[in-house]
Structure 1
């Protein structure tokens, strides 16, 4: 009964006109920022933090605004992923695998609608889990040691085989290149510079956003230019702007499975939405890819990672609010307001 009483008090505070207005404004701003490749939720929250101080918002209103921007960015990044094949942030990479093929087939409205509904389902399940199990999950997550994280990321790398295409060697090579790029910078234990070439700019490593824009956005632009120079590019069929609710309903189990996987991944400090999105997609592909349609425009390939990354975003709030330990880079930016609240 104490939980219900606290939830009631929370709704009384959250449903004031000011907080509802901040919620809507945060979602709108977050969607705009997320749709711009390279910004993402981390920068979106960072931009809005000074605004909360400038207008003198209390900690609760500030948290509502920042969380709204956070979740708005998580959806906004899917707009460019689906329509342009350019991920707006790291978790959106998995959405491009089936979202862009759906857009090419004239199902852009369906893909965006599935993304939006899946985001809502994942975030709702995460909020329910946050309300009911935050203290228990936070205590369990804080006991994760180096060995546990090592096993977790070994599992993540093992699941790379689940998204391997026709040539698994390319997938393995891509993973090795990613690991090589991740070693650039100061060693976290010894402090020895690795592959910095005596450049101070590389001491902090290669920023994921920089790598994301370079590998996906620029490459996509170059491919479009190449097609334009060779022959007249074909216009992508728009199709109906009205989503097919039957198609959305058929992805309901993918949304629920993705939400569960993503939520568990998000609770672990440092894992974040990227791991939740990746593992949700792989788990759904292993479960449902009976006809080999994943990667070719399967709606479930959009629903699973979208629900997973939003559930992971909500799960990342659990260690932040309960223990003051950020669950992701975005929550690290907002942890100050959480402490004051």
Structure 2
């Protein structure tokens, strides 16, 4: 009963006119930022932090949270329609989403991303409201051995995702690890392999690599062909609703993606990106139904599952922030800054000292979804 009382308090706060407006602004901005390749929620929230000085604490955090989870959904639009990832977590959505669009099924692909995002976001918020404390204790049990195992799992997953030559796949993983070494060492603060180029001290951005490999690579390849051989493709979005067969394939994928994203979202350093890749890996290893389109050729599960995973992970990543004051990723670190600006100390006491903020923020996520 206490949970329902708290949620009633939260919805009372979130349904005020001012907070509804800021939730709308946050979701709208986040979706637009997600659509624009290369911008991302980190840069947007960083730019808007000074603007939150003049806002009440609850309204400011509702708006910033809306930007974050709105961007996870918005990134799927360009990934499906033009094969460019709007957000880093949308990279795997391109693999099957763009192929669906090329086959004239852009509408069902966008609907799968939207419906999966909505369901997963709502479930993630429910988990945040009901199980914040116990899930944080689980995250605390992850030590160096567990994180190393998680990294090895990620590398194995990368091999599983690859198609074609295994040697080339391993070669690309090694290249990725070498590129990951570029930047400032966390422990010593020494710049590694930056060659005195200031822009490289922060490392090589993932979204930059993704846009180069998937987006610009394809554009340059197309332009290199004679004009008569070039592929000119315009996505026409018709018939948004998926058919019965699509729903039959989507529903289990959405459930799997939601469960996986909710679990991985609470882990520091994980969040939406890790959840999306892990969800796609699981779907690719799940047996295809008779007559189902192979992965990489426009399978709707390859859109629904990662999109569900990245949205549920974006919601549950608030758990360590709100309950322990520990930011699990860069966006949550900026949220800590926003809370500090308003003299709010992130941690366990937020739930008791600022219940309007804690439960108002959670309730606003349902409205935002």
Match of 2:123 in 1: 125
Q: Say which SS state the counterpart of residue 86 (structure 2) adopts.
A: coil
> How is 1:247-258 mapped onto 2 (pairs within 5 angstroms)?
247=245, 249-250=247-248, 251-258=250-257
Match of 1:317 in 2: 318
| Of 290-299 and 116-125, the range deviating more from structure 2 | 290-299
Q: Deviation per CA, 1:100-156, whole angstroms, max 9, x where unpaired?
A: 000000011111111011111111111011011101111221332222111111112
Measure the CA separation in 1 of the matches of 2:244 and 2:196. 57
Return closer, same or farther for 1:228/1:338 CA change in 2, 3 Å cut-off: farther
Return closer, same or farther for 1:198/1:49 CA change in 2, 3 Å cut-off: closer
**Residue 331 of structure 1 pairs with residue 332 of structure 2:** yes
Measure the CA separation in 2 of the matches of 1:11 and 1:19. 10
Kept in 1: contact 2:110–2:240 (CA 8 A)? no
Query: Deviation at 1:239?
Result: 5.7
Match of 1:72 in 2: 70
Q: Deviation per CA, 1:137-181, whole angstroms, max 9, x where unpaired?
A: 112213322221111111121222321212222322221111110
Structure showing greater relative contact order (alpha-carbon pairs closer than 8 Å, 6 or more residues apart): 2
Q: Deviation per CA, 1:160-205, whole angstroms, max 9, x where unpaired?
A: 2321212222322221111110001233234443222233432332
Return closer, same or farther for 1:282/1:232 CA change in 2, 3 Å cut-off: closer
Return closer, same or farther for 1:228/1:39 CA change in 2, 3 Å cut-off: farther
Gaps of 5+ in 1: none
Q: Say which SS state the counterpart of residue 100 (structure 1) adopts.
A: helix
Q: Which runs of 4+ in 1 moved over 6 A?
A: none
Q: 2:170 aligns with which of 153, 169, 172?
A: 172
Match of 2:151 in 1: 153
Match of 2:285 in 1: 286
Kept in 2: contact 1:37–1:86 (CA 8 A)? yes
Match of 1:301 in 2: 302
Measure the CA separation in 1 of the matches of 2:139 and 2:91. 26
Match of 1:51 in 2: 51
Measure the CA separation in 2 of the matches of 1:24 and 1:247. 34
Match of 2:365 in 1: none
Match of 1:116 in 2: 114
RMSD: 2.0
Query: Deviation at 1:58?
Result: 1.2
| Of 283-292 and 255-264, the range deviating more from structure 2 | 283-292
Kept in 2: contact 1:227–1:233 (CA 8 A)? no
Query: Deviation at 1:31?
Result: 1.2
Return closer, same or farther for 1:244/1:59 CA change in 2, 3 Å cut-off: same
Number of residue pairs matched? 339
Kept in 2: contact 1:22–1:65 (CA 8 A)? yes
Return closer, same or farther for 1:27/1:161 CA change in 2, 3 Å cut-off: same
Measure the CA separation in 1 of the matches of 2:232 and 2:210. 26
Measure the CA separation in 1 of the matches of 2:336 and 2:138. 20
Q: Deviation per CA, 1:272-310, whole angstroms, max 9, x where unpaired?
A: 211000001111221243557111100011000000001
Match of 1:2 in 2: 2
Return closer, same or farther for 1:311/1:188 CA change in 2, 3 Å cut-off: same
Measure the CA separation in 2 of the matches of 1:128 and 1:297. 31
| Of 250-259 and 209-218, the range deviating more from structure 2 | 209-218
Query: Deviation at 1:236?
Result: 4.0
Measure the CA separation in 1 of the matches of 2:219 and 2:62. 36
Match of 2:36 in 1: 36
Kept in 1: contact 2:97–2:302 (CA 8 A)? yes
> How is 1:78-227 mapped onto 2 (pairs within 5 angstroms)?
78-227=76-225
Q: Say which SS state the counterpart of residue 202 (structure 2) adopts.
A: coil
